Amino acid sequence: MAKNVVIVESPAKTKTLARFLGEDYDILATIGHIVDLPKSKIGVDTDNNFEPEYHVIKGKEKVISELKKAAKKAKTVFLAPDPDREGEAIAWHVANSLKNGSKAKFVRVAFNEITAPAVLEAMEHPRDIDMNLVNAQQARRVLDRVVGYTVSPFLWKTITHNLSAGRVQSVALRLVCEREVEVTQFKPQEYWQISAVLETVLKEQFSARLVKIGDKTLAKPDDVGNNKIAIGTKAEADGYLKDLQKASYTVSLIKRTEKQRRPPAPFITSTLQQDAARAFGFAPKKTMSLAQKLYEGIEMGREGATGLITYMRTDSTRVSGEALKTVRGYIKKEYGSDYLPPKPNVFGKKKSAQDAHEAIRPTYMNLPPQKLSKYLTVQQLKLYTLIWSRFLASQMKPAVMDVVSVDIEADRFLFRATSQKLVFDGFLKVYHEQKEPDENGNGLNGYVELPELAENDLLKLIKLNPSQSFTKPPPRFSEAMLVRRLEADGIGRPSTYATIIATLKDRKYVEAASGKLVPTDLGVAVNKILVENLPKLFNVKFTAEMEKELDLIEDGTDDWVKVLNGFYRPFKKTIDALKKKQSAIKESMTEKTDQKCPKCDSPMVIKWGRNGRFLACSAYPECKTTKPLPEEAALMKTDQVCDKCGAPMVVKVGRFGRFLACSRYPDCKNTKAITLGIKCPRTGCNGELVEKKTRGSRLFYGCTSYPKCNFASWDKPVNKACASCGHPFLVLKLSKRKGEFYKCPGCKDEFPIEAPDREPVAR
């Protein structure tokens, strides 16, 4: 008897599905796409309705052969790649590849979650392949290919070879570069704040902040510099302090309010990436990789492979009725009726939301995180716990706070003190949303403990505290902040956020420094060329409009060939005009210097290479002499000598970070790791700690004895022993609120940079 065949994308799903479907089904995996546009050419016929030229991806021949063999014997082939545009396109490509020679019926099924009820329900209601989804994916792929294969050669001829430009990634690069300009050109503005320590008749003290002088309200720290009133100089502050010393202080108003804090919506792709980045430092790419495994299925002993979360690429906060019923039952049982709202919480959606899938949530409410610790890796458990807690919180009652605001008059001055007391924790019982400090590094709300006060109470001034501050520049984007900005601007879609940022890092257009994205010299140069010469194409508004066009194709309300024609004709005209200016643009990127070539005495010029700027002989190609820029050459020099030939060692940058190399290369090819002068802390290991880089270009510190020793630290070790517990080294930490400080990996004590050998500042 012929078996039915189910074809999925990932091999990880096959074991999970096999448990639900039984022996009557063969379950095979495509392992992603099986065909794609060719790598060696554009592969799109722009003169023939943008007909794509699909080729079998290298290495997928065996996969297709096995799929064909199974399809020939099958009665029905269930096409079950992921439930999104890419998955629909894979299903279409698979069907086209297998139909010839097979009498099987081909149908599409989509699993929003890998659970027995969801899978069996989908299998009972198969459908045809949705060509609107396929055409939307095809339009995006063709559009990106046309832009990439047209603009990238333009970059090669104006900057350097092997650069590339992506339609969406280049807009993200523009955002990072423009923010960098805002940061570097920012001029701090001085401002002063005044607080007063006041005492009641019962000798209870509290602090209040000056908020008004006469009829002028002072700006809050975040608003200083936005045409708001502030105390601008020390002289001005000193003048007010003299008057305040003579003033009498009276409670003029006490305002009590009840404040509710509503629970957040369950996670969508962007909010999951943001929260995971803030809570655990996960890059969006890492978050999506972990979520994919949780969705596809985790081996759980006798239970077998189990899908633990719903599909993780979604922009909808919608939750199924059955899931709402289950989670409300769980909340009532575990936390009591006081935490359960009368009706399920419903959350609004953005106009651009596709709403094709539910929000990201646990699939089984009988599998809380504590039951899964022995089956999940540490990172998987962290992410699952985050998803679990957020989903629970989304269906709980709001938290309730009593807020008391006290105004104190001091002649023409008004001070204010505010206290907040949690009276019902509500959803905070299970979840606290991760917040980044604001642009001035403030992570707290400024609440203080207040004594019992009444209106017209006289207060005694204990002391005045003037404090000088300066406005801060807007923060550089963290990966979480960039995802939030891309989502807000309508750039990309849930399936692309992680890839956008990973691509910028892989191309070395941006790098992560202290958790923030900073454009490299190369990234700045690429952005400059693209923005100056293709301002409309690499524009936030234009790119967002194009995303809407792709959504209309998916909805079936627009034709994909028509959309591409509307884009391509003006685009080609612009590119044709640019080709005539390539030489002039390239010349503008070459800087003259007063240095002479050491070989032919010709002037040296600054050119661009894949790793940044360098000095090159202007007589190229007759003379091919190159040198690093003086400032970079100075950084490259070291006081170490080669232990093979005695020549000086210099610092070079390789695929996995910096290393020492002999300056006589290629005559001497000796290399060494750059050590920190710190012994590895692992017992019995004789290695030293060195600076390394991951494949994603993230800096970390590991042992020279790897792979025998796998010690690693994201924080930079510093050769200073802990004054509290004697640990052999501290690590350098950075936070926006505290700045730089040292922390002990052993006892967790923290020390100021200036005095790590003194008493700790926190324990």
Amino acid 227: pLDDT: 67
Given a contact cutoff of 8 angstroms between Cβ atoms, the answer to whether 85 and 131 are in contact is: no
Q: Which residue has the higher pLDDT, 468 or 654?
A: 468
In sequence order, which ranges of 354-478 are alpha helices (DSSP H)? 369-372, 378-394
Give the whole-angstrom CA distance, residue 143 versus residue 503: 17
Given a contact cutoff of 8 angstroms between Cβ atoms, the answer to whether 617 and 642 are in contact is: no
Give the whole-angstrom CA distance, residue 383 versus residue 369: 10
pTM of the model: 0.78
Give the SS3 label for residue 593.
strand
Amino acid 636: pLDDT: 58
Amino acid 156: pLDDT: 86
Strand order in the sheet with 603-609: 591-596, 603-609, 612-617, 626-627
Amino acid 348: pLDDT: 81
pLDDT, tens digit (0-9, with 9 covering 90-100), for 122-131 = 999 999 999 9
Q: Checking phi first, is residue 454 left (phi over 0); if not, alpha (psi -120 to 50) or beta?
A: beta
Please state which of the ranges 19-23, 120-124, 679-683, 758-762 shows the lowest mean pLDDT: 758-762
How does residue 179 score in pLDDT terms, banded at 50, 70 and 90? very high
Mean pLDDT of the 37-46 span: 93
Q: Which residue has the higher pLDDT, 628 or 595?
A: 595
What residue ranges define each of the domains in the chain, with the CATH number in brackets? Answer: 4-129 (3.40.50.140), 138-185+475-584 (1.10.460.10), 190-262+399-470 (2.70.20.10), 277-394 (1.10.290.10)
Q: SS3 string of 482-525?
A: HHHHHHHHCCCCCCCHHHHHHHHHHCCCEEEECCEEEECHHHHH
Residue 443: pLDDT above 70?
no
Amino acid 50: pLDDT: 95
Given a contact cutoff of 8 angstroms between Cβ atoms, the answer to whether 506 and 522 are in contact is: no
Amino acid 700: pLDDT: 85
Residue 592: pLDDT above 60?
yes
How does residue 580 score in pLDDT terms, banded at 50, 70 and 90? confident
Largest CA distance in the chain: 99
Residue 101 CA: distances (Å) to CA of 2, 80, 104, 129 = 15, 21, 9, 20
Give the whole-angstrom CA distance, residue 681 versus residue 80: 49
Residue 757: pLDDT above 80?
no
> Helix, strand, coil shares of the chain as percentages rounded to 5?
35, 25, 40
Mean pLDDT of the 564-576 span: 92
Percent of the chain scored above 70 by pLDDT?
91
Amino acid 694: pLDDT: 75
How does residue 683 score in pLDDT terms, banded at 50, 70 and 90? confident
Given a contact cutoff of 8 angstroms between Cβ atoms, the answer to whether 273 and 259 are in contact is: no
Mean pLDDT of the 173-187 span: 94
How does residue 418 score in pLDDT terms, banded at 50, 70 and 90? very high
- How do 4-8 and 76-79 pair as beta strands? parallel
Residue 375: pLDDT above 90?
yes
Give the whole-angstrom CA distance, residue 28 versus residue 538: 41
Given the residues 295, 311, 339, 384, the one annotated as active site: 311
Amino acid 14: pLDDT: 87
Amino acid 734: pLDDT: 73
Amino acid 761: pLDDT: 45
- Select, from the ranges 311-320, 634-643, 716-725, the one with the highest average predicted confidence (pLDDT): 311-320
Residue 755: pLDDT above 90?
no
Given a contact cutoff of 8 angstroms between Cβ atoms, the answer to whether 199 and 403 are in contact is: no
Give the whole-angstrom CA distance, residue 326 versus residue 328: 6
Please, what's the b/e burial string for 739-758 (b: 16 or more CB within 10 A of its CB; e: otherwise)?
A: eebbbbbeeebbbeeeebee
Residue 654: pLDDT above 70?
no
How does residue 758 score in pLDDT terms, banded at 50, 70 and 90? very low
Give the whole-angstrom CA distance, residue 703 versus residue 337: 53
Q: Write the DSSP symbol of residue 201.
A: T
Q: Which residue has the higher pLDDT, 356 or 238?
A: 238
Amino acid 2: pLDDT: 57
Residue 653: pLDDT above 80?
no
pLDDT, tens digit (0-9, with 9 covering 90-100), for 98-124 = 998 889 999 999 998 989 999 999 999
Please, what sign has the CA dihedral across residues 658, 662, 667, 669?
A: negative
pLDDT, tens digit (0-9, with 9 covering 90-100), for 255-289 = 999 999 999 999 999 999 999 998 998 989 999 99
Residue 227 CA: distances (Å) to CA of 80, 218, 466, 474, 655 = 57, 11, 22, 16, 48
Given a contact cutoff of 8 angstroms between Cβ atoms, the answer to whether 583 and 519 are in contact is: no
Mean pLDDT of the 78-86 span: 92
Token digits of residue 354: 């596709």
- Number of helices (H), then strands (E), belonging to the chain: the values are 19, 35
Report which secondary-structure segment, H or E, holds 526: helix 521-533
In sequence order, which ranges of 645-728 are alpha helices (DSSP H)? none
Closest CA to 35 of 52, 57, 62: 57
The vertex-214 CA angle with 209 and 218, nearest 5°, equals 45
Residue 641: pLDDT above 90?
no
Strand order in the sheet with 671-672: 637-641, 648-654, 657-662, 671-672
Please state which of the ranges 98-112, 414-428, 696-710 shows the lowest mean pLDDT: 696-710
Mean pLDDT of the 564-583 span: 90
Residue 403: pLDDT above 90?
yes
Mean pLDDT of the 140-156 span: 92
Give the whole-angstrom CA distance, residue 23 versus residue 11: 17
How does residue 442 score in pLDDT terms, banded at 50, 70 and 90? very low
pLDDT, tens digit (0-9, with 9 covering 90-100), for 287-326 = 999 999 999 999 988 888 899 999 999 989 999 999 999 9
Given a contact cutoff of 8 angstroms between Cβ atoms, the answer to whether 81 and 88 are in contact is: yes
Determine whether 742 is an active site residue: no
